[in-house]
Structure 1
C-alpha cells in the first residue's frame, strides 16, 4: 500500500530511493533546492547532469545520488509562475507525473518531492501544493505496487499547507470551558 506524508526537513538528508530536484533547464546546478542537492551530492552529479544535455519544463531525468543518502536524483524543471494563465498548472502536473513515471520504471519504492516551482519560480504555494497532492494521489490510485511519497517542506508554513491537504494537520485540542 502506498503512503503520502509531509515533513519539514533538508531533502538532501532523506534516506529514500530517490529525491526530486527542482532543477533549471540546464541541469547544471543553481540556487535553492537545486544548489543544495548539487553541493551535497558532490561533483560527480554535475558530470552526470552534463551528459543529460538539459531538460525541458515538465520533463524529468534521473541520475545516481552519488554522496546523497538517496540512491537517485530525479531532476525536473517546473514552470515559472506567470499569473496562472500560461499553462503553468498543466506543466507543474506534468513534472509530478514525469517523476512518478521514472520512479515506476526504476521500481523505486520511496520518493521525496520538494515543493516544485514555489521558490525562485514564484508559483503560489497553496496552488502548487494542491496540484502536487492531487496529482500524486491520482497516480497512486491507478498504478500497481507500493510507493511511499514524502512532500519535503522548507518552512513550517509550507508544511502546514501540505498537512492540511493530506488530512494530517494536527488538530487543536480544546480544554474544559
Structure 2
C-alpha cells in the first residue's frame, strides 16, 4: 500500500470543501472573539462569566471518502472553550485491482482549547490542542491480490483541529455542524458532521 504523506491530506473535491469549511469557521471565530459586539459584557471579569458544558455526537462525510463520526465534551467560560473529543474516519484509495480496494480507518483522542463566541441562539467555536492518533489499513497480499491483510498504524501524536457551529434549540439541546481535522504522520484526516447537542448550552 502506498503510504506517502500528502501535506494537506485531502485528495478529492469533498476533502477540499471540508478543509475550506473548517478553516472558515476557525477564522470567523477568531475574528468574532477578538472584536466583541457586547463591549459591556466583554469588560466582565472571568470569575463573573457563566460556564456552559455540553456533549455532542454525530456523523457525516470524511476526507477519506467514507462516513466519519465524532463524540465530544466541551466546556466554555467567557470566550475560552476547553474540550475532549474522539473522532473516526474511514475510506480508501479506491484503486480497484482485481475487485479489491485498499482502505484505511483512522481515529483520534484529543485534548483541545480554543476560542468561542455566542449570540442569543448561535454558538461558534474553534479549538486546537494535542491528540493521540491510530488506525488500521488494509493492503493486498503480495501472493494473492484477492486477499486483504489488516495492519495497524503505529500510535502517534497529531495536531487536531475542531470547529463547532451550534444552533440552540433551548437551554439544554441544540443542533450543530462539527468540523474536525487531524494532521499527523500516519494519514491526515478530517470531516464534517451533523451533530446533536445536549447539556447546559
TM-score, normalized by length of structure 1? 0.28
Between structures 1 and 2, the one with greater helix share:
1
TM-score, normalized by length of structure 2? 0.26
If asked which structure has higher relative contact order (CA below 8 Å, sep 6+), I would say: 1
Between structures 1 and 2, the one with greater strand share:
2
Work out which of the two has the higher radius of gyration on C-alpha atoms and give 1 or 2.
2
